Structure 1
Amino acid sequence: MKNTIAERIFDFLKDFPPFDVLNKEQLFKISSNVKVIYIENESFVFKQTEAPHESFYVVKDGAIGLYRTMENDQILVDICDEGDIFGLRPLVQNDNYLMSAKATEESILYAISVEILKEIIQTNDKVNKFLIASFSTNIKTPYAQQNYGQLFANEEIIQANNTGLSDIQTAQYSKNPISCSKTTTIKEAAIIMSTKRVGSILIVENKNPIGIITDKDLRLKIATGLISISEKVSEIMSSPVITFPEKITIAEAQIAMIKHKITHLCITKDGTPNSELIGLLSEHDIVVLHGNNPSVLIKELKRAKNVNTLKYIREKTSNLLTGYIDQKIPIVFISNIISEITNAITIKAIELSIEEMETQPPVKFGWLALGSQGRKEQLLITDQDNALVFEDVPKEKYEETKTYFLKLSKIITEKLNAVGYEYCPADMMASNPKWCLSLSEWKNQFNTWVTKPTEKAIMMCTIFFDYNLVYGDAKLVDKMSESIFKSINSFEIFLNFLGRNALINPPPLGFFRQFLVENNGEHKDQFDIKSRALMPIIDAARLISLSHNLKGENNTISRFQKIIQVEPQNKDLYLSCIDAFKIVLRFRTEQGIKNNDSGRYIDLNTLTKSEKLRLKGCFKPIKDIQDMLNIRYNLSQMM
């Protein structure tokens, strides 16, 4: 006899992740064991601190509110609607519920046994990955320190469970590393290194690596006279060593070297220090083996003689970005690498342009990257935003000096355009006389924007305040920065206007958890991830850092990290903003690569349920940071 109820449940679940990746047998097993529960409005499914049930829940109809009780206040954290999973985290972590689940309307739930799910996880890796992201985004305990690691679709957790890194090219390492025993003298080790023409030597004991000495150790510890060359190698060796198994990939090696600030990795039979040494992987090996390595690209840039080479390297950089995204490399690592290459391309374009000029620059100057490049957050190829500042000159030399720099800027922007960076539609480039100014003119310009904060002036500030010196004299830029903060300190109400601008875009979700999309125009019904999700976080970081006179950092994550030092009481909120920013930036980048565009506007119909969950999990900090700004700067009185 057919199980009609199970079939109906089957038909419902198959459209929602992670059930959509199950085979028919697995899904039918779940469907046949589901308990159908009716929940009246205002009734609890479970309460905070309650021991976990034997099942987690999927919303069939209705809506379930997730509430957190904090200091006798019941806070609505999230609303789960059709197809959403909740109540899973305690079952996975063997912990009590950290919040209450209460129906906000009459609801029907499917209760699914966690034991059946565990059986399926063992044979279905896709389900495992989704559930990690799913319960991380659904269980959004507001800034609870003990649960912080699970607040978002945590990159480290997902990465640890992702086999993608092992699918890319395996690094080729030296299979005959030079080694010695710990009783060898430093002098003997140095002679061995010199004879074998190697830059490092491993110290082994019972065939296991216990330490390493490099040329750097010899320079810093021996050549300086700090330690006698007659001492044993154990006196200066770096220990313990960092070890990996044979199948280490180039990406894993790069991350490990950056994380541990080292240039060599030991390869052992089982990947641990207590295993036989079989090889050594150096930073040099990676550069040689991986032609798309950032170090190689930057070296190629330094040797570049024409724009065609710059364009070629820019295209290789795009391929590098795609590879990093596919490998699930941390977005901060990706941003740093891509930003350094972009800056190197710009520097070379400037150097080539100066060579084309009839004379060298008449005075000191600085080339400034603005916007996302200025914040070192430009991953996808976008249009140019730049400016130029030159040293003050006598009045009689001003026109001649400005004419020179305008001509130079025009050549530079033309080269960048040929490389692939399109001209700014709003002409916010150094080739525009408005943005090619002397130091005094820039000081006056910023002071005018600050003391006369019109709508246009505030918009300019959001662009020009995020500048970064790419080429030229740092002292000029330091003087600009000092002048800006002086103007702000003398006209503090400017921060209120800047704060009002930060709230132009409301939180990305409506009350019923619907994405706020464009109402008209070319991108009607699409989600603007830049304006709705990225810019609110960027604007908040800029505003708060300016209010604390925090200088030297324009990057959003770095700004929040500095803000945490002066506002430790809000640490959890700011860390949540950092995590949200990382995830949204990665998401935009993924969409841009997928659709071969800027990734700004997203057709929600193309997203999977899990992708929507992933995004929604990042939106609460946006609302909370905007609420905080509203109160801190009395913005409700200015609206």
Structure 2
Amino acid sequence: MNTIALRISDFLKNHPPFSMLQTEQLLAISQAVEVHYIEKGQIVFETETPVKDQFYIVKDGAIGLYRNNHSNLVDECDEGDIFGLRALMRQGTYQLSAMAMEESILYSISANLLTEYITVNQKASTFLLQTFVSNSNFNTTDSFIDGAIKNAADMPDFNEELSASYSKNPIHCSPETSIQEAAKTMTLKRVGSIIITQNKKPIGIITDKDLRVKIATGTVSIDKPVTEIMSAPVITYPKNISVAEAQIAMLQHKITHLCITEDGSNQSELKGVLSEHDIIVVRENNASVLVKEIKRANTTKELQLIIQKTQQLLNRYIAQELPIRYITSINSAIINSLTNKIIEFAISKMVTAPPVPFAWLAIGSQGRQEQLLLTDQDNCLVFEDVSPELHQQTQDYFLLLAKEITIQLNQVGFEFCPANMMGSNPKWCLSVSQWQAQFKRWITKPDQDNLMLCTIFFDFERVYGDSDMVDQLSDSIFKSIDSYEIFLNYLGLNALQNPPPLSFFRNFLVEDSGEHKDQFDIKARAIMPLVDAARLLILSKEIKAHNSTIARYTKLAELEPQNSDLYFACIEAFKNLLYFRTQQGLLHEDSGRYINLQTLSKANKLELKSAFKAVKAIQELIQVRFKLSQLM
């Protein structure tokens, strides 16, 4: 072996997945590696250009990965970092561009080397699977969990760890079937493959490629049995194979179809076929793609179709039991992106541009990034202060704009708020100073109505527009609370309005009248007590950067380690309740708020009752901390 190859080997063996390879595998790769000297500012590959048949590892220097014509740095790769591998797996075009941030030396490794030496190594292949789904440069952090996703560029591709959707009615034939009959069946059924089975077990496969290469060329007669040209043995996997596993398996075996069997072996019954096309379909219906479709959309009709796809995506995520925080972050990112597009549509329909800067705020569950099912709208608008003589015409402009926004949101699937808590209502379309005055009034006069408004409007998130004025609103809330501290006590009393949702005899407290008589209100009796408690406690700490319930309890656990067990119990309870409500909503095609207890299994009821313990515990903490027994 030459000296350069030895140096490459010495370098690679210190970095995974190369450190996991056997010596002969590593040496073989090192001999075939290409070395690249890259000047500062030189492009390695560009967004939207065809993926090269190789990936890269940084030997020296630094490579930046960018979006938007090198204006948005997504990641920085330095010594030992790998980049371009996800693109190689995915094929198509690059979604990022790579440019040298300083003079660099890169090693490039071809797809053939990947399949021949790396994916066949069990440890290295496992490492690839783990890192492939992490959406980072072999840096398996989940930093996006620490806050809601603000930009589609930061959105992880969770389809990689989802179970792949496969054809559950595979076309198959017996070994005695002639090639001609098999081809006719494939043509009739419009499929690109047919499985040869014996006693319901897969023993071989024929694809369109086999017909082209072995039949169309005259190599084999079409009268021969399918066993003459079938590929055998077939590659089999169990039903829960993930998208990432499927892609790596196809790459490793250089095939385009996998057989899905009962136990994952070729000795059990055939259950389906997973094709390369199926993987492409999954990838074309993921969160990142949906956000891109939103950006390209020109009509509300297109956005309506995207909302439908979003609900299908949500169904998949729930069915695959992905962490609820991942799901809510992704769903919020999609909804926010869609709302941004609608606001752009609405502004384009106005006769003139907005007269002053403004911001569109989501409130309630969407403001907390906890909206999963399509519910009614909750939003408001804030605009920059203007002189008194210009105020009315400025507000009139924004009321007209807000009306157009809410109409279009309704057209794509978000119902109008029954209580009219929308930016099109003059009460909720105000200047910065008006909002500040209104917040102060609610805080200093905390009657039942004002407290209810605080629980809705204090959970706001900027979706569009100026961020400075939104910060001003947050600051004004804390300033008003500081001047009237007893407000927190009243807010505490309000948080105790719904006690733990079990009666003295350990039965669920259900609605005793009305449309939902004898049904359990999971939102009011279980979810909102946890939400209200988190809001109260985080406000008492004067922390404004945490809007979601989970983020609030996480921050509280950090600030109060002595109560961390309780706060983490609240997180688990909240996640379970939100998950359960979403499942019920998808099952019954409604909001999931009211649950018929008769439809629940004993296990379901036990899970819910377990979550209620956290509600009881957090309410007891609030009662003691804010000395509420004196006010009750």
TM-score category (smaller protein) = 0.5 to 0.7
Q: 2:52 aligns with which of 198, 205, 210?
A: 198
Following the alignment from structure 1 to structure 2, what is the Cα–Cα distance between the partners of residues 433 and 279?
Answer: 64
User: Which of 472-481 and 505-514 deviates more?
Assistant: 505-514
Query: Which contiguous aligned blocks of 4+ residues in structure 1 show a shift greater than 6 angstroms?
Result: 188-196, 219-222, 261-266, 268-272, 285-288
TM-superposed CA distance for 1:214, in Å, is: 3.0
| Alignment correspondent of 2:135 | 257
Q: Is the 8 A contact 1:269 1:276 kept in 2?
A: no
- Unaligned 5+ segments in structure 2 are 1-26, 58-79, 88-95, 143-155, 162-234, 238-244, 257-277
Q: 1:315 to 1:242 in 2, by over 3 A?
A: farther
Q: 1:420 to 1:561 in 2, by over 3 A?
A: same
Following the alignment from structure 2 to structure 1, what is the Cα–Cα distance between the partners of residues 53 and 389?
Answer: 58
Secondary structure class of the residue paired with 2:513: coil
Secondary structure class of the residue paired with 1:379: coil
State yes or no: 1:187 paired with 2:36.
yes
Query: 1:39-82: CA deviations, max 9, x gaps?
Result: xxxxxxxxxxxxxxxxxxxxxxxxxxxxxxxxxxxxxxxxxxxx
Q: 1:481 to 1:616 in 2, by over 3 A?
A: same
Instruction: Supply the AA of the counterpart residue of 1:187.
Output: H
Q: Is the 8 A contact 1:200 1:212 kept in 2?
A: no
How many residue pairs get matched?
A: 445
Secondary structure class of the residue paired with 1:372: helix
| Alignment correspondent of 1:547 | 540
Query: 1:414-437: CA deviations, max 9, x gaps?
Result: 111111111111111100000000
- 1:190-269 pair list within 5 angstroms: 197-198=51-52, 201=55, 212-214=82-84, 223-225=100-102, 227-228=104-105, 243-244=125-126, 256-257=134-135, 260=141
Q: 1:365 to 1:488 in 2, by over 3 A?
A: same
| Alignment correspondent of 1:565 | 558
TM-superposed CA distance for 1:186, in Å, is: 3.8
Q: 1:216 to 1:477 in 2, by over 3 A?
A: farther
TM-superposed CA distance for 1:515, in Å, is: 0.8
Q: 1:616 to 1:200 in 2, by over 3 A?
A: farther
TM-superposed CA distance for 1:216, in Å, is: 11
- Unaligned 5+ segments in structure 1 are 1-178, 204-209
- 1:23-172 pair list within 5 angstroms: none
TM-superposed CA distance for 1:243, in Å, is: 3.9
Secondary structure class of the residue paired with 1:560: helix
Q: Is the 8 A contact 1:193 1:201 kept in 2?
A: no
Q: Is the 8 A contact 1:367 1:387 kept in 2?
A: yes
| Alignment correspondent of 2:498 | 505
Q: Is the 8 A contact 1:245 1:269 kept in 2?
A: no
Q: Is the 8 A contact 2:44 2:97 kept in 1?
A: no
Instruction: Supply the AA of the counterpart residue of 1:181.
Output: I
Following the alignment from structure 2 to structure 1, what is the Cα–Cα distance between the partners of residues 43 and 291?
Answer: 33
TM-superposed CA distance for 1:617, in Å, is: 1.4
Q: 1:586 aligns with which of 579, 586, 596?
A: 579
Q: Is the 8 A contact 2:584 2:595 kept in 1?
A: yes
TM-superposed CA distance for 1:511, in Å, is: 3.4
Q: 1:212 to 1:255 in 2, by over 3 A?
A: closer
TM-superposed CA distance for 1:295, in Å, is: 1.0
Q: 1:215 to 1:625 in 2, by over 3 A?
A: same
Following the alignment from structure 2 to structure 1, what is the Cα–Cα distance between the partners of residues 584 and 569?
Answer: 22
- 1:478-627 pair list within 5 angstroms: 478-627=471-620
Instruction: Supply the AA of the counterpart residue of 1:563.
Output: L
TM-superposed CA distance for 1:539, in Å, is: 0.4
Q: Is the 8 A contact 1:193 1:200 kept in 2?
A: no
Instruction: Supply the AA of the counterpart residue of 2:341.
Output: K
Q: Is the 8 A contact 2:157 2:287 kept in 1?
A: no
| Alignment correspondent of 2:452 | 459
Following the alignment from structure 2 to structure 1, what is the Cα–Cα distance between the partners of residues 613 and 55?
Answer: 51
Q: 1:400 to 1:286 in 2, by over 3 A?
A: farther
% of aligned pairs identical?
Answer: 49
Instruction: Supply the AA of the counterpart residue of 1:540.
Output: A
Q: Is the 8 A contact 1:506 1:532 kept in 2?
A: yes
Q: Is the 8 A contact 1:186 1:232 kept in 2?
A: yes
Instruction: Supply the AA of the counterpart residue of 1:257.
Output: N
TM-superposed CA distance for 1:232, in Å, is: 9.4
| Alignment correspondent of 1:76 | none
| Alignment correspondent of 1:98 | none
Q: 1:626 to 1:182 in 2, by over 3 A?
A: farther
Instruction: Supply the AA of the counterpart residue of 1:355.
Output: S
Q: 1:438 aligns with which of 408, 431, 444?
A: 431
Q: Is the 8 A contact 2:362 2:462 kept in 1?
A: yes
Following the alignment from structure 1 to structure 2, what is the Cα–Cα distance between the partners of residues 187 and 418?
Answer: 53
Query: 1:555-608: CA deviations, max 9, x gaps?
Result: 000111111121111111000100000000000001111111111111101111
Question: Greater RCO between the two (CA within 8 Å, min separation 6)?
Answer: 1
Q: Is the 8 A contact 1:381 1:598 kept in 2?
A: yes
- Provide the alpha-carbon RMSD of the alignment: 4.1
Following the alignment from structure 1 to structure 2, what is the Cα–Cα distance between the partners of residues 471 and 420?
Answer: 19
Following the alignment from structure 1 to structure 2, what is the Cα–Cα distance between the partners of residues 382 and 545?
Answer: 26
Instruction: Supply the AA of the counterpart residue of 1:476.
Output: M
Q: 1:429 aligns with which of 419, 422, 427?
A: 422
State yes or no: 1:278 paired with 2:252.
yes
Q: Is the 8 A contact 1:502 1:536 kept in 2?
A: yes
Q: Is the 8 A contact 2:359 2:381 kept in 1?
A: yes
Following the alignment from structure 2 to structure 1, what is the Cα–Cα distance between the partners of residues 250 and 306?
Answer: 40
TM-superposed CA distance for 1:498, in Å, is: 0.5
Instruction: Supply the AA of the counterpart residue of 1:224.
Output: M
Instruction: Supply the AA of the counterpart residue of 2:387.
Output: P
TM-superposed CA distance for 1:279, in Å, is: 7.5
Q: 1:391 to 1:573 in 2, by over 3 A?
A: same
TM-superposed CA distance for 1:518, in Å, is: 1.2
Instruction: Supply the AA of the counterpart residue of 1:504.
Output: Q
Q: Is the 8 A contact 1:286 1:293 kept in 2?
A: no
| Alignment correspondent of 2:333 | 340
